[in-house]
Amino acid sequence: MILKNHLKELRARHGLNQSELADRADVSRQTISLIERGNYSPSITLALTLARILEVRVEEVFELQEEEDS
């Protein structure tokens, strides 16, 4: 199972850049960048915080997908 996210699209919809979203979520810009690239899975607290900021449910930001067998 891998974690996919729609953070970048939702962030753009709200007209926020990475730094602004990071400031609102009280994390570093690098954290937001790595989450968007799929290189870091946030904690539940951070995931819920991001969903609240983007005014969506957390399932709309993050979703679990089956890993594709290569």
Partner 1 sequence: MKKSSIIGFVLMLTVCGFCGGVLAVVIGLNDHSLAWLFETVYNWLFSNILAIQIVCFALLFAGSLAIYLVCQRRRRLYAEDYDRIDAKIAPWLDIGIVINSSLYIIMFVLFSLAVQTEIRGWETLIFLIACACAFVMEITYIRLVKNIYPKRKGDPLSIKFSEQWIDSCDELERKVTYITSYKTLNALRYVILGLFVLFMLLGITFPIGVLPQLVLAAIWLFINVYTLVVSRKLSNGENLE
Binding site for partner 1 (CB under 8 A): 18-19, 26-31, 34, 40, 42-43, 46
CA geometry: angle 13, 6, 46, nearest 5 deg: 100
Q: How far is the CB of 47 from partner 1 (least distance, A)?
A: 11
Q: How far is the CB of 64 from partner 1 (least distance, A)?
A: 20
Pick the closer one to partner 1 by CB: 8 or 29: 29
Q: How far is the CB of 20 from partner 1 (least distance, A)?
A: 11
CB 9 within 8 A of CB 63: no
Token code pair at residue 68: 């594709």
Angle between helices 18-25 and 29-36 (to 10 degrees): 110
